[in-house]
Structure 1
Amino acid sequence: MSRPFLAVVAFALMLVAGPAFSQDAPEPTSVPSIALPPELDRILRDYERAWRAGDAAALAALFAEDGFILQSNRPPVRGRKAIQAAYEGGSGGPLRLRALAFHTEATSGYIVGAYGYGDGPGDTGKFTLTLRRTPGQPWLIFSDMDNQNAPPKPRRASDTP
């Protein structure tokens, strides 16, 4: 076979195969919810209640004294008083939390979950809660990291200071 013929065949294969390789990845399927042990489920239900009520003090009380909140597009917040201040005026609404995975040891653990608002289908975002406790005491949130499922909206020129 001649080199020009092989070059044409290779080029034709790239044209045919190119679109197959450049397809967007399919949307991931929803990860099913799991049931949590009561002492962990309490954390999620207390968080939902405090959030819905806009009760920053009750939200902060779910955290360890030196805990963190780690939200998208915001600097870390550390300490129960700072967490309460960060949640003042920023909570409220029909938050729904569901668990996807969890693990605990004697004094530490985690919950991986998803969240949404209202009765609408699907999740708005996902979260991880790292947990700790003193033996025999209730679990407290050491860190709450969350982010949305949708990509951030592009900034407009008018958005810059």
Structure 2
Amino acid sequence: MMVLDKEDGVPMLSVQPKGKQKGCAGCNRKIKDRYLLKALDKYWHEDCLKCACCDCRLGEVGSTLYTKANLILCRRDYLRLFGTTGNCAACSKLIPAFEMVMRARDNVYHLDCFACQLCNQRFCVGDKFFLKNNMILCQMDYEEGQLNGTFESQVQ
């Protein structure tokens, strides 16, 4: 992973000094623009530093680029190609590496699957939930199970 914001203390977006034009690592032409990018110890036109998969301009999509197998990639494509995937603990379907997830202990969930598995109540950030036998439970269902002697306490 290479950080574009700073490379050896040099900001990613640099103002080119007058009279001393740099060569672009992407197109091999002189950079005549006032602004240029510095990444991977090379200089680039803003239009030349692109993701090898989706062609997005990396200077516009964030401050990080990724390299692997001689490819320069944006975060999304790097994760899509080389990231690890897993299965949702609730539905057992595959979770792509670039998808947002919820975690509870060692379990990973799709955002839509992170709900009480008895009443389907969805949780918001900060809501209290309980995890018992890899089941996510809302407080009401958990307390009902406690009264029946079904669950032991594992508060998250």
| Bin of the TM-score, shorter chain as denominator length | under 0.3
- Higher helix residue share: 1
Question: Which of the pair has the greater relative contact order for Cα pairs under 8 Å at 6+ separation?
Answer: 1
- TM-score where L is the length of structure 2: 0.21
TM-score by length of 1: 0.20
